[in-house]
Amino acid sequence: MGNRIYTVTLNPAWDRTATVARLVPGGTNLLRELRADAGGKGINVSRVLHTFGKETTALGLLGTGAGDSLLARLQDEGICCDFVRLEQDCRTNTKIVDASAGVTTEFNEPGPHVPQAARKMLEDQLQQLPQGAVAVFAGSLPPGVPADWYARAAELCRAVGVRVVLDASGAGLKNGLSGGPVIIKPNRDELEALCGCALDGTEQLLAAARRLLNDRTRLAAVSLGAQGALFATATRAVLATPPKLQAKSTVGAGDTMTAVLADWLAGRQETDTLTDGQLCDLAALAVAAASAKVLREGTQPPRAEEIAAIRAQVCCEMVG
């Protein structure tokens, strides 16, 4: 049980995805290929891990209404869940895929207000996690959750010997860093927002990523969309670039990368003894998995054969 991966989603969503031939802002758009999925960044990570055949449990805060549909869907998929239930309705998000441009526009609700008692129940769960496990904190902070909650949660995990992967943005990322996550996975926009400036080129991205590393945070994976991702430790860095693909849905691509990172961490004791080859292997797999996800509609996890085919085409370059 020690190597089980627990995902924590504070703001789950019932994700409705539709495709339009060409998105016309301010005009009439005919929706097609409608689908609904269980959503929320941590939940997406658990779905990917389950597809990989890994032991995972989805934790977090889940409202009623659409939340009941979300829970039923996860149970149908065979994913272990142990959510703290809220009395308010779960949010519903809408994703519009522009087939002509291969891009997705998201319309996300803020989520229900979280009472202090529900946060305390979740914190109690974290303190019961088995030593050696990995906890993934991912996604936005709903109303009622303090901006420093990820830091507090990471400290609770570290106190019981649980290692943390953090995939957040804004205040969640900025404050969460003080909790000492082992791995962080910002995207370019999130890293630029944290730094307060634009980051042009690999050298600036690497310098910004390394400023977030310390004796507890050992690896930064900066996702760069279609350009791949930059993986940085204090002494090594790899830029992994995927082949050009025609995306069906980019939703969940970053979460797929996070799932690979969490699975990798669950199988290791340290991250500061990586060789160039080991970091390249991790980067190639993570980028291939994220790239394979964009070939799937909605938030469906990628297939193993799709990941393997793309991995052979990922270009890894040692930088810095």
Distance CA 119, CA 138 (A): 16
**Quick check: 63 and 52 in contact, CB under 8 A?**
no
Distance CA 114, CA 127 (A): 20
Q: Which of 5, 3, 17 is nearest to 247 (CA)?
A: 17
Backbone angles phi, psi at 47, to 5 degrees: -65, -40
Q: Are strands 13-20 and 32-39 parallel, antiparallel or unpaired?
A: antiparallel
Enter the tokens of residue 156.
Answer: 């609770």
Please tell me which residue in 15, 37, 167, 255 is annotated as part of the active site.
255
Q: Are strands 13-20 and 91-98 parallel, antiparallel or unpaired?
A: parallel
Grouping H, G, I as helix, E, B as strand and the rest as coil, residue 250 is coil
**Residue 89 a catalytic site member:** no
Q: Are strands 163-167 and 183-184 parallel, antiparallel or unpaired?
A: parallel
Buried b (16+ CB within 10 A) or exposed e, 271-304: beebeeeebbbbbbbbbbbbbbbbbbebbbbbee
- Secondary structure E strands in 182-286: 183-184, 219-223, 229-232, 237-241
Active site residues: 255
